[in-house]
Amino acid sequence: MTNNTAVKIDALPDPYSVPLDQINLSDPRLYAENQWGAYFRRVRDEDPVHYLKDSPFGPFWSITRFEDIVAVDTNHEVFSSEPFIMIGEPDDSLPVSNFISMDPPKHDEQRAAVQPVVAPKNLAQMEGLIRERISEILDSLPIGEEIEWVSSVSKELTSQMLATIFDFPYEDRHKLIYWSDVATGAPELSGGTVDHDERITALFDMVNTFGALWQQKAQFRAAGNAPGFDLISLMEANENTRDMIHRTEEFMGNLGLLIVGGNDTTRNSISGSVLAMNQFPDEFAKLKANPELIPNMVSEIIRWQTPLAHMRRIATRDYELGGKLIKKGDKVVMWYVSGNRDERMIENPDRVIVDRARARQHLSFGLGIHRCMGNRLGEMQLRITWEEILKRFDDIRVVGEPVRVHSNFVNGYESMKVVLTPKAK
């Protein structure tokens, strides 16, 4: 066999050349190579509730149209989030359990314990701090030379925010990024490339580090100090979560959830927003001419990027959807990344339109009881980032093609080189 043939075998085929029943939307290369658009378009048109009987993640249904995703996401009795919400199965040697992967009533109790930290009222008080930190990052960037946007802005900014809401040691904040990447990057979960042993070591380091932080905060409180308003202190203060430190699976699972939830999502939407303003220069001009469009643009970017491509459920009984019979026990994957590009629901869905009507009506946060808890924090970070960008820069030019994440779950960017042009004084 020549090298050429091998390359051909490895290359992704044209989606219309593959027999419909063999189209595999879980192939991580679709996302790494940014080829998912045409695949999903075909499936939405020809087989919107799509069954694949054989994949590295076992047999599964793909839900690809907007309306069908709404139907599944809002029906938590038929479509259970247990035992896990990514397409793959967690490694047995690393049991995890968290509230996104729980049904009521346990889900409701654990979520209620941590939700106050991201409630809008609390966020309003954090706005000044967030703006200060974003401003510092942007002011530190070199002008006119190639810089790595993902690490120097998107990751830096999200890790600072996470360190703030966890009250995590600031100098160690890069660890939060690493743990997040490792948590979702397992081959068996998302088609990622993280080594098994490295992942286990990292996640135990995460649990131990947070365990120590937990003890430290508990002692601080036991010494008569007022508890802080951070995620750990809130969990310690709530009767449903105060014993979690003794339940390693839940402790690890919920930490992982909160770290991933506040990490890849915002990070990749920030990177995606820069890419979008390069791909749609007329829209960038519109935004610069009218910065009041930023909140609407933020929603539009979160739709267009869809930083988490899917969520999965398990059917608790037989259920008919789109003329197909989903059987009890079947794995059902809602592809938010596809619903957000559904032509039936969204006009010109592949375009970013900063003043799009009803831009908030997208699927990226999910719907129903598992709807993203940190949505307002994410929106706020993106809004402030763009408010501060427009004050400083006339252009953020993307150089070359960004490197995308090899995953069917995290739809984002490993690397994106940019050159900054300052705003004319």
Partner 1 sequence: MIELTFIEHSGAEHTVSADAGTNVMQAAIDNGVPGIDADCGGACACGTCHVMVSTEWLDKVGSASDIEITMLEMTPEKNERSRLACQISLSPELSGLVVNLPEFQM
Does 230 contact partner 1 by CB under 8 A? no
Q: Which residues of 267-392 form beta strands (DSSP E)? A: 310-315, 319-321, 324-326, 331-335
**Which residue, 190 or 305, has its beta carbon nearer to partner 1?**
305
Distance CA 306, CA 407 (A): 13
Least distance in angstroms from the C-beta of 256 to partner 1: 21
Distance CA 332, CA 311 (A): 9
| Chain position carrying tokens 């087989």 | 47
**Which residue, 61 or 365, has its beta carbon nearer to partner 1?**
365
**Which residue, 60 or 79, has its beta carbon nearer to partner 1?**
79
Does 358 contact partner 1 by CB under 8 A? yes
Does 111 contact partner 1 by CB under 8 A? yes
Chosen residue from 37, 56, 58, 116 binding partner 1 by CB under 8 A:
116
Does 120 contact partner 1 by CB under 8 A? yes
Here's the x/- map for partner 1, 48-77, by CB under 8 A: it reads as ----------------------x--xx---
Where does residue 350 rank: exposed (0-12), middle (13-18), buried (19+ CB within 10 A)? exposed
Candidate ranges 162-170, 193-201, 213-221, 363-371; the one touching partner 1 (CB under 8 A): 363-371
Find the binding residues for partner 1 in span 368-387 (CB under 8 A). Answer: 368-369, 371, 373, 375-376
Least distance in angstroms from the C-beta of 92 to partner 1: 32
Distance CA 51, CA 353 (A): 33
Does 121 contact partner 1 by CB under 8 A? yes
Q: How far is C-alpha 88 from the chain's CA centre?
A: 16
Distance CA 329, CA 129 (A): 47
Does 115 contact partner 1 by CB under 8 A? yes
| Chain position carrying tokens 């075998």 | 9
Listed in sequence order, the residues at least 6 apart from 266 whose beta carbon sits closer than 8 Å to its beta carbon are 154, 157, 158, 161, 307, 377, 378, 381, 382
**Which residue, 117 or 177, has its beta carbon nearer to partner 1?**
117
Does 127 contact partner 1 by CB under 8 A? no
Distance CA 79, CA 100 (A): 13
Chosen residue from 60, 365, 386, 393 binding partner 1 by CB under 8 A:
365
Does 344 contact partner 1 by CB under 8 A? no
Angle, vertex CA 422, rays to CA 416 and CA 423, nearest 5: 125
Candidate ranges 95-103, 107-115, 206-214, 417-425; the one touching partner 1 (CB under 8 A): 107-115
Chosen residue from 20, 38, 112, 143 binding partner 1 by CB under 8 A:
112
Least distance in angstroms from the C-beta of 348 to partner 1: 18
**Which residue, 272 or 374, has its beta carbon nearer to partner 1?**
374
Does 106 contact partner 1 by CB under 8 A? no
Tokens of 388: 């501060």
**Which residue, 377 or 398, has its beta carbon nearer to partner 1?**
377
Neighbours of 295 (CB within 10 A): 17
**Which residue, 114 or 202, has its beta carbon nearer to partner 1?**
114
Element (H, E) at 131: helix 120-139
Distance CA 49, CA 333 (A): 10
Least distance in angstroms from the C-beta of 369 to partner 1: 6
Tokens of 396: 């953020």
Tokens of 75: 């029906």
In angstroms, what is the C-alpha Rg of the chain?
21
Residues in touch with partner 1 (CB under 8 A): 70, 73-74, 104, 108, 111-112, 115-116, 119-121, 124, 358, 360-361, 365, 367-369, 371, 373, 375-376
